[in-house]
Amino acid sequence: MNVALCADFLEEDVWGSRLCAAAFPQKLDITECNSAQALLRILELKPFSFLTVALNGVAGLEAVRQLRSKAPDIPILWISDEDYSLFGYQYRVTSFLCRPVPDTELRDAVSSCMRLVEKGAGNL
């Protein structure tokens, strides 16, 4: 499964490892970047099963807004340090998690994204 991860530069490896552990035994091929603009460029080149945004505050909100506009049918997992769950609903994110994120919640969120992919994400 092809997954995009947009996270702060120093957190990419941490979130990548946690996503892989949460998806086990399913294997994830993760493409990492540290800005919404970089992810938007990558979306033009490569298809993804789902997108993960692990950016804090307004940076995460803006990333999700831009990604939903560009990729309306791809499941999004959004992780933030602030409770933007209402915006998550507005932008139809598959799962919104507020930090700190327990492993069980991350596993459930990743499973939700993978189930949508298996069903066909066009049903968002």
Look up the pTM and report it: 0.93
- Do 78 and 60 meet the contact criterion of CB atoms below 8 Å apart? yes
Length of the chain as a residue count: 124
pLDDT of residue 12: 83
CATH code of the domain in which 53 resides: 3.40.50.2300
- Torsional sign, CA 69, 123, 47, 57: positive
pLDDT of residue 10: 80
Domain that holds residue 78: 2-123
Task: For residues 3 and 47, give the distance between their C-alpha atoms in angstroms, rounded to a whole number.
Answer: 9
Q: How many domains does the chain have?
A: 1
83 Cβ contact partners less than 8 Å away, ≥ 6 residues apart: 98
Give the three-class secondary structure for 76. strand
- Do 2 and 48 meet the contact criterion of CB atoms below 8 Å apart? yes
pLDDT in tens, the chain (124 residues): 999 999 998 888 899 999 999 999 999 999 999 999 999 999 999 999 999 999 999 999 999 999 999 999 999 999 999 999 999 999 999 999 999 999 999 999 999 999 999 987 544 4
Helices (H), 1-124: 12-23, 36-45, 57-70, 85-90, 103-119
Give the three-class secondary structure for 11. helix
- Do 66 and 56 meet the contact criterion of CB atoms below 8 Å apart? no
pLDDT of residue 119: 87
